[in-house]
Structures are given as structure tokens and as C-alpha cells.
Amino acid sequence: MAKEKQIAIKEAEITNNCPECYNQELKLSFYQKHTFNPLYHRTTGEVTHEIKCKKCYSIIYPVNWTPDIERVFEYYNKLVEPDRKSVRFTTLFYILLVVLLGLVGTAVYMYLEGMF
């Protein structure tokens, strides 16, 4: 079964007021989804974000954003450069591929030599 991870690609401290406690210490984080499997590691193009207050630890959802928070978010959203979408195969995949090709080659050789 594949494991999914959200890996942080950019974090920024912003000084806007928290709508909950009116503190000026907010943290804006952007995450990219990665999928891990025994045969491959996939990097997806899916990017998510989260704004969290560092004092009350509440997550600030887009419904509660002030115009200042929206402006700052748009600015940092333009700066985010996610990793390219890609698939990297693991060593186990290559070992299984070589074994499978060896078995197919052996079967073809035995068939051509009349051993079957």
C-alpha cells in the first residue's frame, strides 16, 4: 500500500493579525504531496497550503482571511516553486525487472533448444 506524505516546500513567517487572538505571529506553509511505494516514489503536482497562528495554534481557513492576509498569501503563492511531477523507481523494481527478463530469456532459450 502506498504511503502519502505532505512535504513542506516553503514556509514563511508573516506579521498579519490572527483573526482569533489578534496576535501578529502567523506561519504560512506550502506542502507538496509525495507518494511512496515499495516499487516507486512519485512526486505529484498537488500543492496545499496552511496558515497557522503561533500563539493560539489555530489554523486560519480562507473564510476567515482578512484582505491583508489574502494579499500576503497571493504574494507567497507566486514565489512557491514545487518540484516537477516525476516517478522514481526503487532498487526493488529494477531487481524484479532483471529477474523477470532473465526468466523470460531462459524460457525462450529452452523453447528454441527443444527442451519443452
Q: Where are the domains of the chain?
A: 3-90
User: Do the beta carbons of residue 64 and residue 22 sit within 8 Å?
Assistant: no
Q: Place 73 in a pLDDT band, splitting at 50, 70 and 90.
A: very high
Residues 6+ apart with CB under 8 A from 3: 35, 36, 37
Phi first, then psi, for residue 108 (nearest 5°) are -65, -40
Count of residues in the chain: 116
Amino acid 23: pLDDT: 86
Q: pLDDT per residue over 87-109, tens digit each?
A: 999 999 999 999 999 999 999 99
Cross-strand partners of 34:
5, 43
Stretch 57-81: mean pLDDT = 92
Amino acid 9: pLDDT: 94
Q: Is residue 53 exposed (0-12), middle (13-18) or buried (19+ Cβ within 10 Å)?
A: buried
